[in-house]
A and B are shown apart, each in its own frame.
Chain A
Amino acid sequence: DAKTTQPNSMESNEEEPVHLPCNHSTISGTDYIHWYRQLPSQGPEYVIHGLTSNVNNRMASLAIAEDRKSSTLILHRATLRDAAVYYCILRPFVSLQGAQKLVFGQGTRLTINP
């Protein structure tokens, strides 16, 4: 499984943007970049994913470097509810319908200050 590297923890203030980095220098050309988060006492929750182009959804934006060796999850305006552990995960594309498991690392623990 291709490995990702994330900072152990980050801190930000409420209503400010947050940029969560992820390095994945060994990414293959067919790996999707997935982001999940886990809020306290809950199961992991899908945030966003992308392949090559930047992606936006109602929760966040994903900025993917041109060489795809790094990506950044952007929370445009953090709220207290965004305090969670954020996981950056590579997941291979498979041509047949047999998608592989997600492999979780340590993730980044994001703290939001009021």
Chain B
Amino acid sequence: EAGVTQFPSHSVIEKGQTVTLRCDPISGHDNLYWYRRVMGKEIKFLLHFVKESKQDESGMPNNRFLAERTGGTYSTLKVQPAELEDSGVYFCASSQVGTGGEKLFFGSGTQLSVL
């Protein structure tokens, strides 16, 4: 069974540019989560999709971040325009629908560096 796949694994961009991160969840997983780790800080929740709907986007830092999950399959996270403080590792996770006891499967992350 394929795991959660994230693309690209690394991205280096200049301040002001746009970057789009992609996440392919495990097939059949309706829940999809985005997380971010900024260097030296804790892993922080960004948002949660259930199928194509945003269940919780309370962790999105500002309106420069846009997440989509068209058709309830893969998801994209766009940062436009990117700022220096957006640098970090962005993780995607997916899980089956459940009541809190199900496990989350994480991808290896996208390392974003904004110069």
Contact = CB atoms under 8 A, between A and B. Distances in A.
A17 interface: no
B48 interface: yes
A46 B99 contact: no
Chain A residues touching B, majority SS: loop
A94 B100 contact: yes
Interface in B96-112: 97-109
B91 to A, nearest CB: 5
A46 B93 CA distance: 11
Contacts, number: 69
B45 interface: yes
A114 B14 CA distance: 42
Contact of B104 (A41, A46, A51, A93): A46
Interface residues of A, number: 29
Interface residues of B, number: 29
Contact of A93 (B45, B59, B101): B101
Contacts of B93: 43-44
Contacts of A46: 103-105
Given A43-B106, A99-B100, A104-B43, 18 more contacts: A32-B101, A43-B93, A44-B93, A44-B104, A46-B103, A46-B104, A92-B100, A93-B99, A97-B98, A97-B99, A99-B97, A100-B100, A101-B45, A101-B56, A103-B45, A104-B44, A105-B42, A106-B42
Q: Which 6 A-B residue pairs are closest in the complex by CB-CB distance?
A: A43-B106, A104-B43, A46-B103, A93-B100, A97-B97, A101-B45
23 contacts: A34-B103, A41-B108, A42-B108, A42-B109, A43-B4, A43-B91, A43-B107, A44-B106, A46-B103, A51-B101, A92-B100, A93-B99, A98-B55, A99-B31, A99-B95, A99-B98, A99-B102, A100-B48, A101-B45, A101-B59, A102-B33, A102-B104, A104-B43
